[in-house]
Amino acid sequence: MSLTTSNVLAELHTNIRTRPVPWEAYVRSNIVTDADVKKIKAIDKVPRDKRADIVNKDGQGYARLVLGSDGVLQNSVTKSRGDIIQYMLMWTGDLLSDVPGFAHSLLALPKPYDLLISLLRGHDAPVPLLASAVLTTLLSTALTSSSKVGEDVKDALPKFYHYLCGVSRGGDHHEQDLAIQSYVSLLRTSYARTTFWYMREETANPLYRILHEAAHGSGSSNVGNDRNALGGSNIVQGGVPLQLLYHVLLTVWELTFEESVAEDLNQRYDDLIPAITDILRSSIKEKITRVCLALLANLATKSPSTNLPALLLTGILPHLQTLSTRFNSDSDPDLTADLSTLIAALEAFESEQTTLSSYKLEVMATHLRWSPPHRNEAFWKKHAREILDDKELVHALAKALATSVDKTVLAVAANDVGVLVREVPYARKRWEELGVKARVMELMGDTDAEVRYEALKAVQGFLQTAFSG
C-alpha cells in the first residue's frame, strides 16, 4: 500500500511542489550548498526512469543529502526553515515512490530514523504527516527485508506507534485514515504485530472504538459534502467513512495472524466479534465483506476454542450460508475459501455444542449462559420431550429460576422454560406445580430488561397453551 496515494498526502505534495523554491537565495544564506542544489535539480522534472537511474548510481550521496548529519533536512531543522523541511520531505516521498531501492540507501545511514522521529512533534501541521509517510516506508522496508530486527528499529517502532495512535484518536478522518494505512503497511511481520499488541492500550483501543461506531452507528448513507469523506466517496457505514473502516478492518485482520492475538482479541474486547459480524451483515461494498470474512476466518482457525462460541452466538451462520450462494470459487477463490472455512467450522462446532448432554451439564451446574442450544430451534424440537422426561433436569432448571440472582441465568432459564412450554404444551401443569409459572410472572417486573423480556415470552407461552393437554 502506497501512502502517497492518500488524498491528504497527494494534496499536500501538490501544494508544496507548486511553490517556487529560491535555491540560490538559500545557498547565499548557507542553508544549502551549491552541490546540494545541483543534486536536487539533476533529478527535478525528468522522466521517472531517468530519475531512478541517476539516484541508483549515487544512492548514498542522495541518502546523505536527505538524512545525513549535514544534509539539507538536518540543516533546515537546525535553522527552523519549515518551507524547506516540507519540500525535502515531499521530495523524499516522491523518490521513495519512484525509486524503491532508495529506501535501502537511506537505511544504510547511521540512525536513519532519529531525525524523522523528531519531526513528528513540535512542527507545523504538514510536517508530521509528511515525516510519517517517509517513516512508514523506511520502517516497513526494514521490517520485511530481514528476519533480524535491528536495535534502531526496536527503538523507533514504539515511538512511531505512539505518534500514530495519537492521530488515530483524532477527529480528522483523513488523518486517521493515513495513520491506519501506516499500520497496514507496518503490520506485515510478527515483530511489528507483537509490538503493536504489547502497546494495545494505546494502539488497539482507538481502532476498537471505530469498529464499534461502524457497527452501532447510524447505518450506511451518503454524507453529502462532508469534508471528512474519504477516497473520493461520500459513503459511510455506521457514521464511519468506508475507506477508513476498510483500513481498520485490514489492520485487525493482520493482527489475527498472531495466534496469541487471535486468542486474546475477543476476550480483551468482548463485543468485537459481534461488532464485526454486524458490519458484515450491513456491508454495502464487497471489499468490506471480503476483509470481514478473512478476519473472522482467521479468528475461527487460529483460536477456535475462544472465538467459535462467540461467533456462533452472533447468529451469523445463516447469513454466511446465504452469502455462499452469491459467490463461486472460480470467480472469487479467496472469498469463497474464507466462507467455506467459516461455515464448516461453525457447523461442526454447533453440532458438538447442541447436544443434550452438553445442555444437561450446563443446567446441572446452574451456570446458564447464552450457549448455542438455548436459541437453536432444531435442538428444542429434537430434545424437548427428553428434557421433560428427566425429572432431575427439570427440577434443576426450576431451581435456577427460583434461586439465582445472576441476571443472565434468570434470562436464559426463562427462555428455556418458555420454549419447553410451547414445544410440549401438555407439561404446562408440571411447571405450575413447581412454581415456575408464578416465578416468571414475578420476573416480568425485574429491574433487568433482558430478564423482563424473556419472562414475558415465557408467560405468553403459558397463556398460549392454557387450553392444551
Residue in 363, 319, 365, 327 with CA at minimum distance from that of residue 343: 319
What does residue 129 show for φ and ψ, rounded to 5 degrees?
-65, -45
Greatest CA separation for the chain: 104
DSSP-derived secondary structure for 211-235: HHHHHHSS-EEE-TT-TT--TT--E
Does position 339 have pLDDT exceeding 50, yes or no?
Answer: yes
The pLDDT of residue 373: 87
What are 459-468's pLDDT values in tens digits?
998 898 776 5
Q: How far is 298 from 293, CA to CA, in rounded Å?
A: 9
3-state helix, strand, coil in the chain (%, to 5): 70, 0, 25
Q: What is the mean pLDDT of residues 11-33?
A: 89
Task: Mark residue 262 as left, alpha or beta (left: phi above 0; alpha: psi -120 to 50; beta: remaining).
Answer: alpha
Going by pLDDT thresholds of 50, 70 and 90, the confidence category of residue 124 is confident
Mean pLDDT of 281-295: 94
pLDDT tens digit sequence for 183-225? 999 999 999 999 999 999 999 999 999 999 999 875 554 444 3
Q: How does pLDDT run across 365-418, given as a tens digit for each residue? A: 777 888 888 988 888 999 999 999 999 999 999 999 999 999 999 999 999 999
Q: How much is the pTM?
A: 0.79
- Asked if residue 160 has pLDDT above 90, the reply is yes
Q: Whole-number mean pLDDT of the chain?
A: 90
What is the model's pLDDT at position 225?
A: 39
